A and B are shown apart, each in its own frame.
Chain A
Amino acid sequence: MNRTLVTTFLRQRARSPMRMTLLMLMFGGPLLMATLTRSLAPLAGAAAQVVLVFVAGAIGQDVSSGVLQLTFARPVSRPSYVVSRWLAAGLATTAFVLLQVLLATLALSWRGAPVGAADAARIVLEGAAMAFAGAAVMLALSAFVNGLGDLGVLLLCFVSAQVLSMISGQLHWDAVGIAARFLSDTLFPKLDLGWLFGRGAISWAELASWSSTLTLGLGVAIWRLNRRELSYAAD
Chain B
Amino acid sequence: MTAILVEHVTKTYQRGMGHPVRALDDVSLTVEPGETLGIIGPNGAGKTTLLGCMLGFLKPDSGRVRVEGGAPDDLQVRAATGYLPERLVLDRWMTGVDFLHYHHALANLPAGTRREDCAQVLARVGLEPAQGELRVGRYSRGMLQRLGLAQALLGNPRLLFLDEPISGVDPAGVLLFRKLLGDLSREGVTLVINSHQLAEVERVCSRVVFVKAGRIESIETTRAGASHARVLRVRLSADTAWPAGVSLADLASGAGAQFHEWVAPDARFSVPDDAGATLLLAALLRAGLPVIEVAPEEGRLERLFHPGGGR
Contacts and interface: CB of A to CB of B under 8 A. Distances in A.
Interface of A: 2-5, 8, 11-12, 15, 65-67, 69-77, 229-235
B58 A231 contact: yes
Contact of A232 (B76, B81, B85): B85
A96 to B, nearest CB: 21
A185 to B, nearest CB: 35
Interface of B: 13, 23, 43-49, 52, 55, 57-59, 73, 75-76, 78-79, 81-83, 85-91, 93, 102-103, 105-108, 151
Nearest to B90: A67
13 contacts: A2-B106, A5-B106, A12-B93, A70-B151, A73-B82, A231-B57, A231-B58, A232-B85, A232-B86, A233-B13, A233-B23, A233-B49, A235-B43
Nearest to B161: A73
Contacts of A69: 57, 83, 85
B204 to A, nearest CB: 20
Given A77-B75, A233-B23, A70 B83 contact: yes
Contacts of B59: 229
B58 A8 contact: no
Contacts of B108: 75
A12 B94 CA distance: 9
A8 B105 CA distance: 11
A77 B56 CA distance: 12
A235 B44 contact: yes
Nearest to A78: B73
B191 to A, nearest CB: 15
A70 B47 contact: no
B58 A67 contact: no
A11 B106 CA distance: 16
Contact of B107 (A5, A65, A74, A234): A74
A230 B48 contact: no
Nearest to A229: B58
Contact of A75 (B75, B86, B90): B75
A235 B48 contact: yes
Contacts of B46: 235
A70 B48 contact: no
A79 to B, nearest CB: 12
Contacts of A231: 13, 49, 52, 57-58
B90 A233 contact: no
